[in-house]
Amino acid sequence: MMGHIDIIENEIYNSLPTEEVTEQIVIDAMRYSLKAGGKRIRPLLVLYFAEACGASAEKALPFAAAIEMVHTYSLIHDDLPCMDDDDLRRGKPSNHKVFGEDIALLAGDALLTNAFAVMLSERAVSLVGAEKCVKCARILADCAGMTGMIGGQVIDLQSEGKSVPIEIIREMHLKKTSCLIKAACMMGVVAGGGDEEAEALAEEYGTCLGLAFQIMDDILDVTASEEELGKPIGSDKENEKSTFVTLLGIDECKKLVKEYTESAISALSGFRGNTDSLRETAVKMSERKS
């Protein structure tokens, strides 16, 4: 019997063309970054929340694949020279170092658009119905768009080399990091047939988990090795970025990670299904070393 990761991987790769096409290079670039590894946190959250609502994980698979595509596109674009200018991602050369900046840019664009094709496909509709597909697509569009993940990236770019107050740092990461994690949780509830109360609880879990995740990222950028992270360390300091760590210090940041993790776990009390995996995910994210 396949586990959650296996069925997610199958769903992701089955959504890409299997036959050779004239524009094969962009398909290869998409597949390269999708296969670069990663914890698959966001797609797992989609499946876990569907199960927390009493549904099978399989019903939520198209939405799990879609959110991983959006996440992967964001990483490809983040690494570009015009953005963070990173040569490594998950221990491998960044997409633009392998395929060039032009194809990397288009591969990210293609992953983003394909995510919505997957969520609105006949397969997705057959699993959960058209209404839920549309609702999931709207959630992801809002959370990934101009006042969500992209908005957070804009704030990040505009904050480089400046002394930025903690309120702006928090807003930036609520949008840049928490929004996509929140979207995963809410989409899982929708696909799993949960009600509006369950959506609100999932949103709370995702928001808190996202902040804890980002603060841990800031801590690891200071304390971890490049081998552990699989990407350059110290980039925040090099780019003169204000972070949770530079403004609050490591000890205070560790306290915040604990508080946000506890808040995320508290939000799970209102679900009738099994939430063990969601609890374990929150704890693992707060204790991770990479």
pLDDT digits (tens, 9 = 90+) for 34-68: 998 788 999 999 999 999 999 999 999 999 999 99
Q: How many helices (H) and strands (E) does the chain have?
A: 17, 2
Q: What are the residue ranges spanned by the domains of the chain?
A: 4-287
Fold of the 4-287 domain: Farnesyl Diphosphate Synthase (1.10.600)
DSSP string, 197-266: HHHHHHHHHHHHHHHHHHHHHHHHHHHS-HHHHTS-SSHHHHTT---HHHHH-HHHHHHHHHHHHHHHHH
- In DSSP terms, which residues pair with 93 in a beta bridge? 88
* Nearest CA-CA partner of 96 in 121, 125, 73, 130: 73
pLDDT reported for residue 82: 93
Calculated CA dihedral for residues 238, 243, 247, 253, nearest 10 degrees: -120
**Residue spans of the chain under pLDDT 70:** 1, 224-240
C-alpha span between 279 and 268 (Å, rounded): 8
Sorted by sequence, the CB contacts under 8 Å of residue 149 that are 6+ apart come out as 70, 74, 143, 175, 176, 179, 180
Whole-structure pTM value:
0.93
How much is the pLDDT for 289?
83
- CB contact set of 250 (below 8 Å; sequence gap of 6+): 219, 222, 223
- What is the model's pLDDT at position 226? 57
Residues 171-187 pLDDT 10s:
999 999 999 999 999 99
Whether the CB-CB separation of 172 and 152 falls below 8 Å is answered with yes
